[in-house]
Structure 1
Amino acid sequence: MAGVDAATETLTPLGWRTHEQIQAGDHVLALDPADKRIHWRKIGHVHRRHWESASDGPLTAWHHRAVKALSTPGQPWLQLNELGRKLGDDRPHDWTTTAALAGRDWVRIVFGGGTPSAFPDSSPYSDEFVELLGWIITEGCYPRPRHEGSWNHVQVSQSERVNPEKTQMLRRLADHFREQGYTFNEHRQAPTGVVPFYIGADLGARIRQTLPDKQLPPALISSLTLSQAEILYRSLILGDGNQHVGGGDYFIQVDQGRIDSFQMLAAMLGFRTAQKTWAALKGVFRITVYTRDSGTSGSTKPTRKDYDGTVWQIEFGRPTAWLARRDRTTFWTGAAPRSPRPPE
């Protein structure tokens, strides 16, 4: 049987889900190996069975720095078309299995990438509002009254001294929303160089409703257009991330809910990610966004591992890859072959 272990999750429009939380008819993020487009695909069936290594044999564990997979020998994987890679054309990906990769170190497995096509053509939000949401998540706060009651205003700040370009971005947004009739005022710069911005209750209430507890709801991500998703991604990186010298981005965060949402956003944009503990700061996590879409089979450092538990697999009706997440690493893996129909 093709399958992955019970710790492997998948991505739905409502966020990350375990196999117990999905069923036929639900949609998961998928990659078509022919045209390499990323889209939501309806599940035809979810296969589950108990696996016991004493009778079924061990599973294969991959220990790649960006892929932590545990799968059965028959699990399908996308393989980069070598002829297409050499000729520089865009041939469809090939298929291989965990068992077929044993002893082969130079097969290039497709872990990420694809053309983002899961976003709608229109959105209920403006581009400026989406950009502002990214800054609120990373640099904003929701003030609370000392006593009973509630406030709706929002504050966001940036250092003029350290990040003058980013401060100017917030000024541009403030100008835009003031032209729309909202309260978005710049206050006096602090001695430290930090420039605070006050967003009034008129716009603040909408921000708080859209980002409850400064969390980025999966439904919000799914409602953005592609260009807005790119705007949001970039503002999140500008606010709480940086660019790696060798390419790719880092997103630094302490809140697991925001990490989950960022990994969802990145996956829909075609980026594979891995969450790692940042040794320099306790309780802080660094999410690495990888620029390479594939890795060699040898780099997965495969080992045999005994396993006693559920293995599961998605069936779509035709060869398709679906997005998996295990041990906070995201990657494409293959769906089960279509089950034969019972005789009529």
Structure 2
Amino acid sequence: MPEPDKLQWRSDLGWPPHSPADPADPKDGLVVHYDSADQGLADKEHSSCEAYWNSTRDFHTGPSRGWADIGYCVDEATEILTEDGWRTFAGIDEGDLVLTLDHRTGMSRWQPVQAVNVFPAMPRTLVRMQGRGHSSLTTSEHRWPVERTEGLHGPVPPATTRRWATTATLTRTDRLQTAAPCADLPREAKWTDALVEAVAWYWADPGPDGTGLHTAARLRAALHDLVSEPSHWEEIREDEHTEFRLSGEATEVLERHAPARVPGPAFLRSLTRAQLDLLLNTVGALGPGPSWRSRAAADAFQFAAVLAGRSSTLENTDGLWSVSPGTRTTTGAQEELATTREPYEGRIWCPSTPDTTWLARREGTVYFTGNSFMACAHGNVMEGRGPFRTQAAQPGGNTTHYSVTLATGPNDTITPEQINAVRQLREWLMEPSSSIDGAVLGHRDFVSTSCPGDEAYGMVQDGTFAEPAEWEDSD
């Protein structure tokens, strides 16, 4: 079936095109709701229905509620990794490329921001998870892609599966992902390995003063490949140590890729996986640990580590920025982290992305963190949370069923156009892309409530909404 004849998407209403609500794949049918208060929309122009739908969303996402249609959020200090480096929520816009996690494959990739959802400052209680290599401050409902060990006490060996959990539902076998190989790295080298190694040497701080004989030989070979003529650098040897001093021309070559001795994001993204390892290993071999006086230089190292699929933590000690590489790519949510609740009065935010995940950084630690429709009296179907989203914040079928509200009260007329809109919505959602069961239920089938009203519930029971829809092009 085609989409409903009078379907209005979120974007048609001036909303972000994708709801930041939790992902879901409802399969068990369609649930009918109502407003509980008479609206009288059947006697008004359709613009009144649009105004109603907008005001309903504003109410539920406003300070009095703050949960419907929200992407459960993080605090203002949490950053996101864009293709141009780390940014706060104030520094990103719709369309910016950010690093996400494909939770099906466990690989990271670059995807566009679909919306930046920022909610006003107000008193809230957030959950802090803190431990070595991790710092997060989120709402209880903030969603996490996790690796979960299942079957610990069963007859078969335990298995690790990819699951979703919220901050409040994390279990002792859940592990948060702190790194993932990037699926978008180039397969063919754009630059020579000699250039990559020379950039790593140039990047190192305070530089290769006192370079040992073995390292000096590698750098000398890289410079020969880079500028060919030995006249472009000077070697000052003292015992078994060598200091390299570059000419202006040689320095200019390196500055193109590492301005002010900091490799640019575009250069780092252009490296193959093997070259990222070469870059990181070269820097690591030039000193006791990757550390810089420049924050930008340390950020670049963490950027490169992320692309290489390595975990890391950024720290500042006595004005020196250091990056501590990790050996693992996950952190135990309960075994390794201390969890506390604390008051918070600032703004909270979250981005919307196609993968519904994004790479976050807070206090130097890095990790991946991740009503549907209205049928109005005039026969329009208006998108709310939309397809493949949890339908509401409360329990009661909101992850297993799609929902539709009639926006009527106990004494409002349910019009034939409205009934047909529900039928069209049902048949559309039964198509292969969403493939729901054809069952139609009422809200009161899940919880103790008067919703969707006696008249609408009677139609649920007698099968009115499950009858075939009429379509404008059916002739």
Classify the TM-score, shorter chain.
0.7 to 0.9
CA distance in 2, matches of 1:260, 1:275: 8
Change (3 A) 1:130 1:87: farther
Q: 1:302 aligns with which of 339, 343, 357?
A: 339
SS in 2 for 1:59: strand
Q: Does 1:265 align with 2:304?
A: yes
Change (3 A) 1:23 1:277: closer
Question: What are the within-5 Å matches in structure 2 for residues 164-203 of structure 1?
Answer: 164-177=213-226, 180-181=228-229, 183-190=231-238, 193-203=240-250
CA distance in 2, matches of 1:87, 1:70: 35
Residue type of the alignment partner of 2:215: K
Q: Is the 8 A contact 2:213 2:242 kept in 1?
A: no
SS in 2 for 1:46: strand
Corresponding residue number in structure 2 for 1:143: none
Q: Pick the structure with greater CA Rg.
A: 2
Q: 2:101 aligns with which of 13, 31, 36?
A: 31
Q: Is the 8 A contact 1:159 1:167 kept in 2?
A: no
Q: Is the 8 A contact 1:69 1:326 kept in 2?
A: yes
Instruction: List per-residue Cα deviations over 1:297-317 (Å, max 9, x = no partner).
Output: 222211111111211112224
193-202 or 207-216: bigger deviation:
193-202
SS in 1 for 2:238: coil
SS in 2 for 1:34: coil
Q: Is the 8 A contact 1:182 1:202 kept in 2?
A: no
Residue type of the alignment partner of 2:217: Q
Q: Is the 8 A contact 1:10 1:17 kept in 2?
A: yes
CA distance in 2, matches of 1:168, 1:235: 13
What runs of 5+ residues in structure 1 fail to find an aligned partner?
141-155, 243-250
Q: Is the 8 A contact 1:185 1:198 kept in 2?
A: yes
SS in 2 for 1:224: coil
How far did 1:43 drift? 1.6
Q: Is the 8 A contact 1:33 1:92 kept in 2?
A: no
Change (3 A) 1:210 1:297: closer
Task: Tell me the TM-score normalized by structure 1.
Answer: 0.79
Q: 2:167 aligns with which of 86, 90, 98?
A: 98
Residue type of the alignment partner of 1:322: W
How far did 1:172 drift? 2.4
Instruction: List per-residue Cα deviations over 1:169-221 (Å, max 9, x = no partner).
Output: 2232234346x456444534135x43123433333221123322212222221
Change (3 A) 1:139 1:48: closer
CA distance in 1, matches of 2:261, 2:384: 44
Q: Is the 8 A contact 1:111 1:272 kept in 2?
A: no
Corresponding residue number in structure 1 for 2:275: 228
Q: Does 1:321 align with 2:357?
A: yes
Change (3 A) 1:43 1:188: closer
How far did 1:222 drift? 1.7
What runs of 5+ residues in structure 2 fail to find an aligned partner?
1-69, 371-382, 388-403, 405-420, 422-475
Residue type of the alignment partner of 1:58: T
Change (3 A) 1:87 1:46: farther
Q: 1:130 aligns with which of 196, 206, 211?
A: 196
Instruction: List per-residue Cα deviations over 1:52-93 (Å, max 9, x = no partner).
Output: 23xxx400011212111000111111221314999587x651
RMSD: 2.8
Q: 2:125 aligns with which of 47, 58, 64?
A: 58
Q: Is the 8 A contact 1:177 1:183 kept in 2?
A: no
CA distance in 2, matches of 1:221, 1:227: 12
CA distance in 1, matches of 2:86, 2:196: 22
How far did 1:10 drift? 0.4
| Residue correspondences, number | 303
Percent identity between the two aligned chains: 23
Q: 1:81 aligns with which of 126, 148, 152?
A: 148
Corresponding residue number in structure 2 for 1:14: 84
Corresponding residue number in structure 1 for 2:20: none
Higher strand share: 1
CA distance in 2, matches of 1:67, 1:235: 26
How far did 1:17 drift? 0.8
Q: Is the 8 A contact 1:253 1:259 kept in 2?
A: yes
